[in-house]
Amino acid sequence: MNPPSLNWRGMAAIYRFEIHRFARTIWTSLMTPVITTSLYFIVFGSAIGSRMTDIGGIPYAAFIVPGLIMLSMFQESIFNASFGIYMPKWTGTIYEILSAPLSSLEIVLAYVGAAASKSIMVGMVIFATAHLFVDVDVAHPLAMVGFMALIAISFCLFGFILGVWAQSFEQLQVIPLLVIMPMTFLGGAFYSIHMLPEPWRTITLFNPIIYLISGFRWTFFGKGDVSIGISLIFIAAMLALCIGAVAWIFRTGYRLKK
């Protein structure tokens, strides 16, 4: 039973600690997505894109912008959130978090909130970088920001779970590298699923990332591979799954308490 009042100062302390941790490497963490995005634009946007026909009336270079933002945000979210909780586990400083008057909800809100803030910032920086290369108008700006926030929170929750689960740096990296990366690349960041022949098109529909990228693309161009409603259902499902897993972790003390 939690006492009614939240430990705001405690959450703020963790949030500030995490933001401070990001700030120590601010240049590398912002330059990396800027450089990668620029490279993607040079290769896919200019070199290849000029030979590509418009996709559903959208120039190819503009078409890939939402996918590129999502790609980086997936990685950033998982990386930052998993590291945020893995590091104190690894160095042992987690003793202080676990012995503080903080509820599990407060701990998750602070860590995930900080990681999600950084992801959203990175997403915005990529969006700004994209403008250097292409003109993109956003059809639904509010929905775009809301979508970014939802994606950041869902993937940060997933990262948090990964960080709790991992017992070595290798394990920490294996899921993003072997599962998330391929899924995003095959998730329609660089193409529309309508461009795929059968049976790949049907197979692709089993990749949940498709629905997330399609939904984000909808906020830009007012249309996606699937309807926005289905995308929202997928995000909601992912959020619910992650929240359920986090709740289970704290109820059982899985890999946090002995």
Partner 1 sequence: MNPIISISGVGKTYASGHVALGAVDLDIREGEIFALLGPNGAGKTTLISVICGLVTPSSGTISVAGHDIIRDYKAARSTIGLVPQELHTDAFEKVIDTVQFSRGLFGKPRDDAFIEKILRDLTLWDKRNSKIMELSGGMKRRVMIAKALAHEPRILFLDEPTAGVDVELRKDMWRLVRRLRETGVTIILTTHYIEEAEEMADRVGVINKGQLLLVDDKDVLMHKLGTKTMTIHLDEAVTAIPEALQHWNLNLVRDGRDIEYTYDATAQQSEVPALISALQLSGVSYADISTRQSTLEDIFVGLVHAGDVSEAEVQA
Q: Which residues sit at the interface with partner 1, rule CB under 8 A?
A: 1-3, 7-10, 12-14, 16-17, 20-21, 24, 91-93, 95-103, 253, 257-258
225: Cβ contacts below 8 Å, ≥ 6 apart: 188, 192, 193, 194, 210, 214, 217
Q: Which is nearer to partner 1, 21 or 223 (CB)?
A: 21
Q: How many CA atoms lie within 13 A of 189 on its CB side?
A: 22
Q: Which is nearer to partner 1, 107 or 242 (CB)?
A: 107
Q: Which is nearer to partner 1, 136 or 164 (CB)?
A: 164
Q: Find the DSSP H helices in 103-140.
A: 104-133
Distance in Å, CB of 19 to partner 1, minimum: 12
Nearest-angstrom CA–CA distance, 140 and 146: 10
Distance in Å, CB of 27 to partner 1, minimum: 16
Distance in Å, CB of 236 to partner 1, minimum: 31
Angle at 222 between CA 220 and CA 225, to 5 degrees: 95
Q: Which is nearer to partner 1, 104 or 171 (CB)?
A: 104
Q: Which is nearer to partner 1, 93 or 168 (CB)?
A: 93
Distance in Å, CB of 85 to partner 1, minimum: 14
- Contacts for 23-30: CB closer than 8 Å, 24+ residues apart: 29/76, 29/118, 29/122, 30/122, 30/125
Distance in Å, CB of 1 to partner 1, minimum: 6
